[in-house]
């Protein structure tokens, strides 16, 4: 299961620099996470860094 960025994203770009596998990119309106690349920081961090650093809680598990 990957993480996704929802429409509450404010395009601050914080998540971009914290993704260890560079799964986050600039989308048409908000940042996007490539579900095929996202590893939920497994093997890198104990918690998903995009969710940890997001000031508006826009990074959530894909199944929510």
pLDDT tens across the length of the chain (64 residues):
799 999 999 999 999 999 999 999 999 999 999 999 999 999 999 999 999 999 999 999 987 5
Position 29 scores a pLDDT of 94
Position 8 scores a pLDDT of 97
* Structural domain count, the chain: 1
| Distance (Å, whole) CA 51 – CA 21 | 15
CATH (domain of 9): 3.30.70.20
Position 64 scores a pLDDT of 54
Query: Which domain range does residue 11 map to?
Result: 3-61
The answer to whether 33 touches 3, Cβ cutoff 8 Å, is yes
């Amino acid at each position: 299961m990957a993480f996704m960025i929802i429409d509450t994203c404010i395009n601050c770009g914080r998540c971009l620099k914290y993704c260890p596998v560079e799964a986050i990119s600039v989308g048409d309106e908000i940042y996007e996470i490539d579900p095929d690349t996202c590893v939920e920081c497994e093997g890198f961090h104990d918690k998903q860094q995009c969710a940890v650093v997001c000031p508006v809680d826009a990074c959530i598990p894909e199944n929510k």
